[in-house]
């Protein structure tokens, strides 16, 4: 019998670490804790070992194509495929409320464009019945946008990746050339780069579900709450273990028919296609 495999990106601390911990307790198969830094990743594994939990560790820098390809080759050679993928790794440079072009581009490269690289190299390894969870946030809901042209584009049921990419590039170009308009976003456009990256990531979730759904693969997005992590700059309202619960639910307990949804931290299904909804992020992220 083929051993099942679960992978969590950016999981040496915070929410990703909590997800790995939960999977080690409940998932019947091999669990991979991944991180960019080998030392920090290995230390995270040792910490779990003290609780009699034994994930495997592998270096994975999701923003580096060579690193993703190397990891995919490793998984293919050792396991032949994978069954669970949690795309958790993300960044937010808290002090840059209205970021420079370099900061905005770095956020989008990690939080959104890396998902395209992961799709290219890891999705071909997804086995039938696999479950993918893209960790979004309240910043990833459509209500974060106020620009009607953008909203109308995202409301299209046949939205294409090229259109999402163009949205991202238009935002980055506006930051680069000084034409960025705060009125295009909720909450005065604070951390617009994070809103853009997470909206794009959530929209990509739905596009991917249409693409891979015929293989009985479930691909969903989730807002795990405002988690107490380094990225929340000391803020956050939800403990990482508590926040991990909704992700573990989508992996382990949710119906396999639950596909292409945006789930809130309380396990409620939220209508992502509601631009007037009161779901946009304020204050935190």
Q: What is the pLDDT of residues 156-169, one digit of tens each?
A: 999 999 999 999 99
* Contacts by residues 26-29 (CB-CB < 8 Å, ≥ 24 positions apart): 26/248, 26/252, 27/84, 27/251, 27/252, 28/4, 29/3, 29/4, 29/5, 29/83, 29/84
Q: What CATH architecture is 5-94+114-144+199-263? A: 3-Layer(aba) Sandwich (3.40)
* pLDDT of the residue at 217: 97
Helix (H, G, I), strand (E, B) or coil at 284: coil
- How confident is the model at residue 281, as a pLDDT? 87
Q: Per-domain residue ranges for the chain?
A: 5-94+114-144+199-263
Consecutive 10-residue runs of the chain (285 residues): their mean pLDDT? 94 98 98 98 98 98 98 98 98 94 98 98 97 97 98 97 98 98 97 98 98 93 83 62 97 96 97 93 64
What is the pTM (predicted TM-score) of this model? 0.95
Report pLDDT digits (tens) over 209-249.
Answer: 999 988 899 999 999 998 865 544 444 568 999 999 999 99
Q: State residue 228's pLDDT score.
A: 66
| 3-state SS record for 172-230 | HHHHHHCCCCHHHECHHHCCHHHHHHHHHHHHHHHHHHHHHHHHCCEEEEECCCCECCH
Beta strands in 24-182 (DSSP E): 30-35, 56-59, 82-87, 126-135
Cα separation of 20 and 85, whole Å?
A: 11
Tokens of 48: 């779990």
| Cα–Cα distance, 74 to 122 (Å, whole number) | 11
């Amino acid at each position: 019998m083929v051993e099942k495999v679960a992978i969590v990106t950016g999981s040496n601390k915070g929410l990703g670490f909590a997800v790995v911990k939960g999977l080690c307790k409940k998932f019947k198969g091999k669990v991979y804790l991944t991180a960019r830094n080998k030392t920090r990743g290995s230390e995270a594994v040792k910490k779990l070992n003290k609780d009699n939990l034994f994930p495997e560790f592998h270096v994975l820098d999701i923003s580096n194509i060579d690193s993703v390809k190397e990891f995919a080759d490793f998984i293919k050679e050792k396991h032949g495929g994978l069954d669970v993928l949690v795309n958790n790794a993300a960044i937010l440079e808290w002090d840059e409320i209205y970021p420079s072009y370099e900061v905005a581009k770095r956020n989008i490269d990690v939080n959104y464009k890396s998902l395209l690289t992961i799709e290219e190299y890891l999705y071909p390894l997804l086995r039938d019945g696999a479950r993918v969870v893209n960790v979004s946030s309240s910043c990833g809901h459509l209500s974060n946008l106020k620009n009607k042209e953008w909203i109308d584009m995202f409301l299209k049921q046949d939205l294409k990746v090229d259109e999402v990419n163009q949205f991202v590039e238009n935002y980055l170009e506006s930051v680069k050339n000084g034409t960025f308009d705060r009125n295009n976003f909720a909450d005065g456009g604070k951390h617009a780069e994070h809103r853009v990256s997470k909206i794009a990531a959530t929209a990509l979730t739905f596009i991917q579900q249409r693409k891979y759904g015929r293989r009985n693969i479930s691909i969903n997005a989730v807002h795990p709450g405002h988690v107490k992590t380094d990225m929340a700059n000391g803020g956050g309202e939800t403990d990482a273990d508590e926040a991990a619960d909704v992700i573990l639910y989508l992996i382990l307990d949710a119906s396999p028919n639950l596909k292409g949804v945006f789930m809130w931290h309380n396990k409620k299904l939220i209508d992502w296609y509601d631009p007037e909804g009161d779901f946009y992020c304020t204050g935190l992220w």
